[in-house]
Amino acid sequence: MITRPDHIEDYLITVRNGQWFGWSDHTNKVYANLIVHDGGRKPTEQECTDGLVQLQTDFDNRKTKKETDKANANQKLKDLGLTDDEIKEIKGIN
Amino acid sequence: MAELRVKSTGTLKLFESDNTSSVTIASPASLGADRTVTLPDASVTLASGTMLATDGDGSSLTGLTPGITEADLWYVTSSFTDSGIDIVTANWSRFPASLGFNKMGTGMSESSGVFTFPSTGLWKITWHFYAYHDTDASYVGGGIYTTEDDFNDFIRAAQTYTNTLSGVLSHVGIYVSTIFDCEDTATHKVEFYTEAQADTDFIGNATAGRMTASFTRLGDTP
């Protein structure tokens, strides 16, 4: 996900491949309007809710880890004696 | 200014070389006022048939075939994850008035991803979509299939690919277009596909045109 998941559709596209689901009213994408095109199992509303929460948690964890890694890398470079300008140069930031 | 006057519903007869048949230029039996026919400073050849009358700006012309009579736009309203080649079979909807569109003419009809034309003619078809992945896909593509036999067989009418970075978040924009001669609406149809080497998220959306197909009738079948 490139943005933080905020809808059960973000979870549904991870359940299985292809256009297996849709909405009886695409202007109102709520669980009650969820339809299954491929004859497969329809996830429960709880599964959708839990799945979305898990995606959000994973997204937040990845974001936190990325920020932590970045901060750690900067600190380690400083510990080696590099100045902020030198760190910017090796990162390609002008 | 010198004048040549032929009075009492006057006519001017111009005969052919053997003087058998003639062309008659005649005034109407009744006129509301004096009229003037001014010839242009150019050579003019009149075609056979009835001459069209205009009020000056052409707005009263009749008997002409208008250029574009059909224009339609559809979009996919939900996202999906996929790999390989697959026809986009579900979640199609006509682009809504709330997003600034109203179809011209009868419009296309769609069933399980197969689009049927409302009339024969030469049609311009476009297909665009947005996708992204962070998987091992090194390419994403898409295209347009047409058929002249109700998809017993198909024609790769438009096809393209773009290179993506394997294992790195990659954004993809695909656009293809074609011109298709629909000679029979019962057999000549069109569908759209996506393709990816590995799992890729194809982004449909109900409130934005992120996967769209447009149809414009350019004119009669040649």
Mean of the pLDDT values across residues A39-64?
Answer: 96
Predicted pLDDT at A53:
98
> Distance between CA A69 and CA A13 in Å, rounded?
29
Average pLDDT, chain A: 94
What pTM did the predictor assign?
A: 0.77
Q: With contacts defined as CB-CB under 8 Å, which chain B residues touch A33?
A: none
Are the beta carbons of A21 and B78 separated by less than 8 Å?
Answer: yes
Predicted pLDDT at A94:
64
> Distance between CA B78 and CA B203 in Å, rounded?
7
Are the beta carbons of A17 and B83 separated by less than 8 Å?
Answer: yes
Q: With contacts defined as CB-CB under 8 Å, which chain B residues touch A20?
A: 80
Percent of chain A with pLDDT over 70: 98
> Distance between CA B81 and CA B109 in Å, rounded?
25
Judge if ipTM > 0.90.
Answer: no
Are the beta carbons of A19 and B199 separated by less than 8 Å?
Answer: no
pLDDT band (50, 70, 90) for residue A3: confident
B78 closest CB neighbour out of A2, A17, A22:
A22
Are the beta carbons of A13 and B79 separated by less than 8 Å?
Answer: yes
Q: With contacts defined as CB-CB under 8 Å, which chain B residues touch A22?
A: 77-78, 90-91
B163-167's contacts with Cβ under 8 Å and 24+ in sequence apart are B163/B138, B163/B139, B164/B133, B164/B137, B164/B138, B164/B139, B164/B140, B165/B138, B166/B135, B166/B136, B166/B137, B166/B138, B167/B134, B167/B135, B167/B136
For B98-112, what is each residue's pLDDT tens digit? Answer: 999 999 999 999 999
Is a pLDDT exceeding 70 seen at residue A42?
A: yes
Amino acid at B66: P
Mean of the pLDDT values across residues B50-56?
Answer: 64
Are the beta carbons of B88 and A23 separated by less than 8 Å?
Answer: no
For A12-37, what is each residue's pLDDT tens digit? Answer: 999 999 999 999 999 999 999 999 99
pLDDT band (50, 70, 90) for residue A57: very high
> Distance between CA B3 and CA A51 in Å, rounded?
94
Predicted pLDDT at B143:
98
Predicted pLDDT at B215:
98
Interface test with B, best of A9, A16, A26 (most B CBs within 10 A): A26
Percent of chain B with pLDDT over 90: 69
B7 CB neighbour count, 10 Å cutoff: 6
Least confident of B27-31, B142-146, B172-176: B27-31
Predicted pLDDT at A69:
95
Contact between B143 and B128 (Cβ < 8 Å)? no
Is a pLDDT exceeding 70 seen at residue B50?
A: no
Structure tokens at B156: 């790769």
For B181-204, what is each residue's pLDDT tens digit? Answer: 999 999 999 999 999 999 999 999
Least confident of B60-64, B97-101, B174-178: B60-64
> Distance between CA B81 and CA A55 in Å, rounded?
15
Are the beta carbons of A20 and B91 separated by less than 8 Å?
Answer: no
